[in-house]
Amino acid sequence: MEQNVRSKTRAKREAYATVLHSSESYVCGAITLAQSLLKTGTKRDLILLIDNSISVRKRRALAAAGWKTRTITRIRNPRAENGTYNEYNYSKFRLWQLTDYEKIIFIDSDIVVLRNLDILFNFPQMSATGNDQSIFNSGIMVIEPSNCTFR
């Protein structure tokens, strides 16, 4: 009984996240995203998945902006051509490995948030905007991390 009470009162672990890989081109965007999220008053963690292409200097700037950084091994899109913008966009799958969180709101690093988005944490996993009937836009997604889903 005591364990049930504790689990019900335990704070949910929720976070906003983005991914930077292959280039430092979006570092300024990620800094702007962090600052725009914080200005809305959110108290959620800000998690940034980065690969080894991001320099130590840029990592410090990202941390100063509010990101908690985690280094990942990027995942190549098998259908992408070498050197294209989407060559490593499968790295977003690493979001499902953030199992220390119950829910993640992924936001692309080229987005500026103008008002608090915390209500999105009430939506179920894989809530996203549809581009048409067969595909969705992965620029903003609700994710419930799970190693089973990742595999």
CATH number of the domain that residue 65 is part of: 3.90.550.10
Q: Is 58 a catalytic residue?
A: no
- 4 belongs to a structural domain: no
- 90 belongs to a structural domain: yes
pLDDT band at 146 (very low <50, low <70, confident <90, very high): confident
Task: For the chain, list the strands marked E by DSSP.
Answer: 14-20, 45-50, 68-71, 103-107, 128-130, 136-143
- 2 belongs to a structural domain: no
Q: Give, as one character, the DSSP assignment of residue 12.
A: P
- 22 belongs to a structural domain: yes
- CA distance to 46, 57, 72, 109, 143, per residue, from 98 (Å): 12, 25, 11, 18, 10
| Token couple for 109 | 């690093």
- Residue 149 above 80 pLDDT? no
Domain range for 37: 14-143
pTM of the model: 0.83
> Which of these is catalytic: 8, 39, 92, 103?
92
Report the domain count for the chain: 1
- 32 belongs to a structural domain: yes
- 44 belongs to a structural domain: yes
- 8 belongs to a structural domain: no
Tens digits of per-residue pLDDT, 96-135? Answer: 999 999 999 999 999 999 999 999 999 887 655 555 665 5
- 97 belongs to a structural domain: yes
> Residue 61: what pLDDT?
97
In whole numbers, what is the pLDDT of the chain averaged over residues?
85
